[in-house]
Amino acid sequence: MNRSKIMGTGAYIPTEKIPNDYFSTAAFFEQDHSPVRNPTGMVIQKFKAITGIAERRYAPPGVTASDMAFMAAREAIANAAVDPESIDQLIVAHNYGDMDYPGAPRDAVPSLASRVKHKLGIKSPSCVPYDIIFGCPGWLQAVIQADLAIRAGAAGTVLVIGAETLSRVLDSSDRDSMIFSDGAGACILQKHQGDDGGVLSTSVRSDTGAEAGFILSGSRNDTPGTEPKFIKMKGRKVYEYVLNHVPQAMKACLDQSGELISDLKMVFLHQANEKMDEAIIARFYGLYGMDRFPDDIMPMNIGWMGNSSVATIPTLLHQVLGGQLESFKLAKGDIILMASVGAGMNINALTYKW
């Protein structure tokens, strides 16, 4: 049986650290363009209590999403010890293309994947590069597609990257701007025959009725009708949707794998909001009749990295494998679950045996 296994990971963590007090002089407005009533200091304090974010990372000026994707990919290739010319598919998940500075035109032609292939110096015409836009779950969806290609015999080696510069689509008058950050993560998947590890099961859900407008592009909160458009989020709607559907998708995925929740070593959730992720885990375990979940089940990096969209899960996985989160270690045979949710609204999950 063909399975896909992660052979190596890589990441680019931006060097610019942006602490919460960076926003202390901001004037925040509601989406109806009225001023936020609470003082900015109180807004920041409440934000930290809910999201768990104390700082985030922004890409240096001139560093684009494809630049970060290239650097993460280069590390993943080195860690996997593969010949770049052997890569059959190169997939880049993103949502806004390359932007040189905040408010810059969103450049996605040629595709970011084609740009990464060029920067890596891959000459093989058989290496097919393409992009995927799927909201925050984009990287995980790309892994799912890579796994399907490997299982079908259409590819033997696939490079999957998630890269985003959300700092360049932020409305500084919107308090939600404090959530988002930049980064890139990558992995190499290869065909593996046998049952001693790899992707076990996947699940995907998409709701595009009223849910399609929960995360979208819009004008500045303090100046209606302005261009360019910025990332906007209906926080309460997103929260309700997430808690109603993500735990169920996770359960469907784990049940399909045939593995027991008692054997689950770790859950890698999209690092969107600390309290929300904790609520997801609680409801997920609740679906199995369990009112508690293990303290060491969910590694987190959102506190110092923020929400980097498609990059959150691959960078977190890379950090765990690199021993950067001391209390979290993966060993051969460990069962993990990855899950993400974002604009669309889209949800996906993947069960993996290490």
| 328 and 314 belong to one structural domain | yes
Average pLDDT over residues 57-63: 95
Check pLDDT > 80 for residue 193: no
| 57 and 132 belong to one structural domain | yes
Q: What's the sign of the alpha-carbon dihedral 133, 55, 272, 40?
A: negative
The C-alpha atoms of residue 53 and residue 110 are separated, in whole angstroms, by 34
Specify the pLDDT at position 249. 97
The C-alpha atoms of residue 251 and residue 236 are separated, in whole angstroms, by 23
pLDDT tens-digit series, residues 239-271: 999 999 999 999 999 999 999 999 999 999 999
Buried b / exposed e over 218-251, threshold 16 CB at 10 Å, is: bbbbbeeeeeeebbbbbbeebbebbeebbbbbbb
Specify the pLDDT at position 1. 65
CATH number of the domain to which 239 belongs: 3.40.47.10
Domain boundary among 143, 174, 193: 193
CA 270 and chain centroid, separation = 5
The C-alpha atoms of residue 269 and residue 305 are separated, in whole angstroms, by 14
| 221 and 149 belong to one structural domain | no
| 220 and 324 belong to one structural domain | yes
| 105 and 125 belong to one structural domain | yes
Average pLDDT over residues 38-44: 95
| 48 and 143 belong to one structural domain | yes
Which residue range forms the structural domain that includes residue 15? Answer: 2-193
| 169 and 249 belong to one structural domain | no
| 141 and 268 belong to one structural domain | no
Q: Which two tokens stand for residue 273?
A: 């909001």
* Contact (Cβ atoms closer than 8 angstroms) between residue 310 and residue 94: yes
Check pLDDT > 90 for residue 196: no
Average pLDDT over residues 265-293: 95
Mean pLDDT score across all residues of the chain: 95
| Percent of the chain clearing pLDDT 70 (strictly above) | 100
The C-alpha atoms of residue 104 and residue 108 are separated, in whole angstroms, by 12
Long-range contacts of range 192-197, CB-CB < 8 Å, 24 or more positions apart? 192/2, 192/3, 192/4, 192/5, 193/1, 193/2, 193/3, 194/1, 194/3, 195/1, 195/3, 196/353, 197/3, 197/5, 197/332, 197/333, 197/352, 197/353, 197/354
| 144 and 257 belong to one structural domain | no
Domain boundary among 140, 162, 193: 193
* Contact (Cβ atoms closer than 8 angstroms) between residue 214 and residue 245: no
| 150 and 299 belong to one structural domain | no
Check pLDDT > 90 for residue 225: no
| 220 and 165 belong to one structural domain | no
pLDDT tens-digit series, residues 295-317: 899 999 999 999 999 999 999 99
Does residue 74 sit in helix, strand or coil? Answer: helix
C-beta atoms surrounding 36 within 10 Å: 17
Average pLDDT over residues 224-239: 89
| 187 and 211 belong to one structural domain | no
pLDDT tens-digit series, residues 199-221: 999 999 999 999 999 999 999 99
Domains of the chain: total: 2
Q: Which residue has the tokens 């809910």?
A: 50
